[in-house]
Structure 1
Amino acid sequence: MTGWLTSIEGTETGHQLALVLALMAAFLHAVFGALQKGKHDPWLSRGAIDGAYGLMAAPFALFVVPWPEAHMWVIFAGAFVIHTVYKVLQALAYSRGAYTVVYPVVRGTGPLFAVIGATLIFNEHFTLGQWLGVATLLTGIFGLALYNYLYLVSNRETLVPALLFAFATGLLVALYTTYDAYGIRATQNPFTFLAWFFMTDGLVMPVLAALRYRAMADRPALAPLLARGVIGGLIAYCSFGGIMLATRLDKVGEAAVLRETSTVFAALIGWLALKETVGPRRIALMALIALGAVIVEFAG
């Protein structure tokens, strides 16, 4: 498997697989976000998810994949810091704002700066048509957030700090997308990076969640929370793992942009699962997001 993946890097086959992985990651990331924002406190949900995928990754990291090269330890340390800050900011945003407002701002901020980072670090360049696609996609994403802010949000007391946290989270999305792409390319075996990333990434949030749980006067039942963690952990492997592999197989910028079609899936999940309203204007904005992704793909 590893040999085949490395053999198709930069090829048309690799490009097509990266496209599939990015779109899969988009859908699953929206599901992941809904899991964290859904029934339980976002801090508890994230702690359960991280603990689950960290424990599941440990046997593979320690006993299955090749041991990381010496230079990878510094890279893992950097990823640990970046993702920890990202998750704290995301939990702060989700605990203060509506999912359908916060999520589009996070996802809209990320791809623009990820594309810029890919240009500076990996010497990738978008065509004029692809930049038009990025502009179309971002118009749809931020338009969706603005529409939700104006028409769908009832409690606005904490929404301004939620939006600020969401914007900061989006910057961290761009940073970790670019950094993880560098990390997964820095090791010979991409599954070594994935296994060690998930194991080390699952260390902090369970501790913070446990402290928060102990301080709660009305504690939720543990069994449903832990079940949510296991489901979220499995989704995280396919979502985060999928996008990391996509950035190794093909262009980082294109994968980052295509992943942000997750906003479309998030709106659909908000409508179907969280019983949030979806009208013709929101459908039109979601169509813009999808159109932007299509332009980016076919104008390259």
Structure 2
Amino acid sequence: MSDWIINLSGTPAGAAWATALALMSALAHAVFGALQKGRHDPWLMRGSIDASLIVISAPVALFMVPWPNGPTFVMLLGAMVVHFAYKMTVALAYERAAYTVVYPVIRGTGPLVTVIGASLLFHEHFAPLQWAGVVLLSAAMMMLALRNMSAEQVDLRGLKIGLLWAFAGGILVAIYTVWDAYGIRQSPDPFTFLAWFFFLTALDFPILAAFRYRRTGAPGGIGSLIRRGMAGAMIAWVSFGGVMLATRLGGVGEAAVLRETSTVFAALIGWFVLGETVGPRRLILMGLIALGAVMVQVGG
């Protein structure tokens, strides 16, 4: 399968597969976000997910794929640092402000910075219509955050701190997207990079979560935490693995923008599954996010 992916890279068929994988990743990421919403402490939830990722990924990395060569291992070490920083900012943002406010800010900041980074590193240049689509998508996400903010009881100081962490998280989304794309592209076997990525980048938060658990216990129940952690780990393979394979097969910028339609999927999940009220303004903003993604796809 690795040879099939390598041979498809850069072809029209590869671009079509990249689009499908990015959309699949967006849907999985929305489920991933909904799974973490509300019930459990964000530090414990992330620690549970990462502990499950180690259990799932270690056998694949150690016994089922070729071991990474020197350059790939260096990229994996860098990924450990970048993803640890990203997970820290997200946990700190969720701790300070509401998920429905923080999530669109993180996801709305990432695409614009990612497209700039892809242009500088991979020489993937967007046409004017594509740039307009990126700006529209990011602006609609920010407006969605403002709309959600109006429905929350706001602690102004906590909100400001939470938004600062959310913007930092968005920048780190762009950094890790470009970094991971470079890593999977230079790896002789893309599944080597994926398996070792999930194994190594999951080693940090279980340690932090263990210290937190000793202080706070597990509000919401240890059984629920473990079950959600295992489900989150399996979804993470689809979400993060899907978008990384998309950047291997097609353009980094296009994959990054399509993945941010996860905000639309998240709103639909909230509407149809969680029974949340959407309302006309959110529907319009979701439509603008989807329109921005379409403009990026057709404008190239």
> TM-score, structure 2 length as denominator?
0.97
Tell me the percent identity.
58
| CA distance 1:272–1:152, shift in 2 (3 Å) | farther
- 1:155 and 1:292 map into 2 onto residues whose CA distance is 30
| CA distance 1:166–1:239, shift in 2 (3 Å) | same
| TM-fit CA distance, 1:38 | 3.0
SS of residue in 2 equivalent to 1:113: helix
2:118 corresponds in structure 1 to: 118
- 2:90 and 2:36 map into 1 onto residues whose CA distance is 10
71-80 vs 121-130, which moves further: 71-80
1:216 corresponds in structure 2 to: 216
- 1:292 and 1:214 map into 2 onto residues whose CA distance is 45
Q: Does the 8 Å CA contact 2:41/2:219 hold for their aligned counterparts?
A: no
- 1:220 and 1:100 map into 2 onto residues whose CA distance is 20
- 2:185 and 2:153 map into 1 onto residues whose CA distance is 45
2:148 corresponds in structure 1 to: 148
| CA distance 1:248–1:78, shift in 2 (3 Å) | same
Moved over 6 A (4+): none
Q: Number of matched residues?
A: 299
- 1:274 and 1:156 map into 2 onto residues whose CA distance is 25
1:228 aligns with 2:250: no
155-164 vs 265-274, which moves further: 265-274
| TM-fit CA distance, 1:188 | 0.9
| TM-fit CA distance, 1:155 | 3.2
- 2:72 and 2:7 map into 1 onto residues whose CA distance is 22
| CA distance 1:186–1:215, shift in 2 (3 Å) | same
- 1:42 and 1:286 map into 2 onto residues whose CA distance is 26
91-100 vs 164-173, which moves further: 91-100
| TM-fit CA distance, 1:272 | 4.1
| TM-fit CA distance, 1:248 | 0.6
| TM-fit CA distance, 1:115 | 0.3
- 2:218 and 2:201 map into 1 onto residues whose CA distance is 28
- 1:26 and 1:252 map into 2 onto residues whose CA distance is 14
- 2:272 and 2:153 map into 1 onto residues whose CA distance is 19
| TM-fit CA distance, 1:275 | 4.5
> TM-score, structure 1 length as denominator?
0.97
Mapping 1:1-300, distance limit 5 Å: 1-149=1-149, 151-157=150-156, 158-216=158-216, 219-300=219-300
Q: Does the 8 Å CA contact 1:100/1:267 hold for their aligned counterparts?
A: no
- 1:56 and 1:187 map into 2 onto residues whose CA distance is 21
Kindly provide the amino acid, as one letter, of the partner of residue 251 in structure 1: G
SS of residue in 1 equivalent to 2:70: coil
1:207-253 per-position Cα deviation (integer Å, ceiling 9, x unaligned): 11111111016644222111101100000000000000000100001
Kindly provide the amino acid, as one letter, of the partner of residue 41 in structure 1: D
- 1:17 and 1:298 map into 2 onto residues whose CA distance is 16
Q: Does the 8 Å CA contact 1:261/1:293 hold for their aligned counterparts?
A: yes
- 1:161 and 1:18 map into 2 onto residues whose CA distance is 36
SS of residue in 2 equivalent to 1:71: helix
Q: Does the 8 Å CA contact 2:54/2:199 hold for their aligned counterparts?
A: yes
Q: Does the 8 Å CA contact 1:118/1:178 hold for their aligned counterparts?
A: yes
- 1:113 and 1:127 map into 2 onto residues whose CA distance is 16
- 2:141 and 2:94 map into 1 onto residues whose CA distance is 17
Structure 1 segments unaligned to the other structure (5+ residues): none
| TM-fit CA distance, 1:146 | 1.3
70-79 vs 287-296, which moves further: 70-79
Structure 2 segments unaligned to the other structure (5+ residues): none
Q: Does the 8 Å CA contact 2:40/2:219 hold for their aligned counterparts?
A: no
How well do the aligned residues superpose, as a CA RMSD in angstroms? 1.3
| TM-fit CA distance, 1:94 | 1.0
1:145-196 per-position Cα deviation (integer Å, ceiling 9, x unaligned): 11112x2111334211111110000000000000000000111100000000
SS of residue in 2 equivalent to 1:124: coil
| CA distance 1:214–1:275, shift in 2 (3 Å) | farther
- 1:238 and 1:121 map into 2 onto residues whose CA distance is 26
